[in-house]
Amino acid sequence: MKFTKMQGIGNDYIYINCFEEKVQNPSELSIKLSDRHFGIGSDGIILIEPSDKADCRMDIYNADGSQAMMCGNGIRCVGKYVYERGIVKKDVLKVDTMSGVKTLYLDIEDGKVVSVTVDMGSPEFQTEKIPVTYPKDRMIGEPVVFGEAEYSVTCVSMGNPHCVLFVDDVNQVEIEKVGPMLECDGIFPHRANIEFIQVLSAEEVNMRVWERGSGETWACGTGACAAAVACAANHKTGRSVTVHLRGGDLHIKWDDKTDKVFMRGPAEFVFDGMMNV
């Protein structure tokens, strides 16, 4: 089977073109291929498929084999893949996902996609829809004790569940210890992606992320959107924010007229390969 490794600011997935290939058991395949010692090495796999409601469809599986509803860094890579490989030759295209059809705006120079802006839709703050078990309709800046520490917690869905915490210094976070504990805390019936945010100014934040099903990754697009929305909702930043992640920067704007969140960032090919399955 042919595959392509791509990354969006270091959030790396193995992409399979299902216009040509057939994948039998994607969960099992993701566990096998994502292994950085015995597999190819990635944060998961992404299937690019035909769709009857959009230009193509994306399905994402985390490194532990769990299926996710949406992937912000992945969808930019899908845009670059389908454009540059001639599957969808449009600079505005629609991609179907488990969390609905998303519109992508490609920035093209000399036939290459240099960045992609994605209309990520509206953030969902309703606790039961995220889902998070909490005795209030919304969880914005709520004090919660996890383990030995109390955090100011904001929960939001960007098609997938996010828990945003504010910290003084992201580099001091013991993410390997705190990340898995929070991801699997009983208040998250479907587990959650955990974002640690250090506010630098009204326009800039540092972020580290512990992703549900993949552990610490170098970036998370839906997580950066959740973080920007959480920062604005807590009056810590304005509605346009540059999020500095381990693998690079994403630019997020939460539009006050439409309530939609727009994410802009790069997408890159790493290599193509063949695997025995």
**Interface ranges with ligand LBFN2T5F (CB under 6 A):** 11, 60, 62, 68, 71-74, 160, 193, 211-214, 217, 220-223
Non-local CB neighbours of 219 within 8 Å, separated by 6+ positions: 8, 9, 10, 11, 73, 209, 245, 246, 247, 248, 250
Cα separation, 269 vs 255, in Å, equals 30
Q: Is 73 annotated as a binding residue?
A: yes
Q: Is 217 annotated as a binding residue?
A: no
| Shortest distance in whole angstroms from residue 212 CB to ligand LBFN2T5F | 4
| Shortest distance in whole angstroms from residue 90 CB to ligand LBFN2T5F | 22
Let me know if 225 is a catalytic residue.
no
Let me know if 71 is a catalytic residue.
yes
Q: Which is nearer to ligand LBFN2T5F, 54 or 192 (CB)?
A: 192
Q: Which is nearer to ligand LBFN2T5F, 101 or 202 (CB)?
A: 101
| Shortest distance in whole angstroms from residue 228 CB to ligand LBFN2T5F | 13
Q: Is 171 annotated as a binding residue?
A: no
Q: Which is nearer to ligand LBFN2T5F, 27 or 202 (CB)?
A: 27
Annotated binding-site members: 11, 62, 72-73, 160, 193, 211-212, 221-222
Annotated binding-site members for substrate: 11, 62, 72-73, 160, 193, 211-212, 221-222
Q: Which residues are catalytic?
A: 71, 220
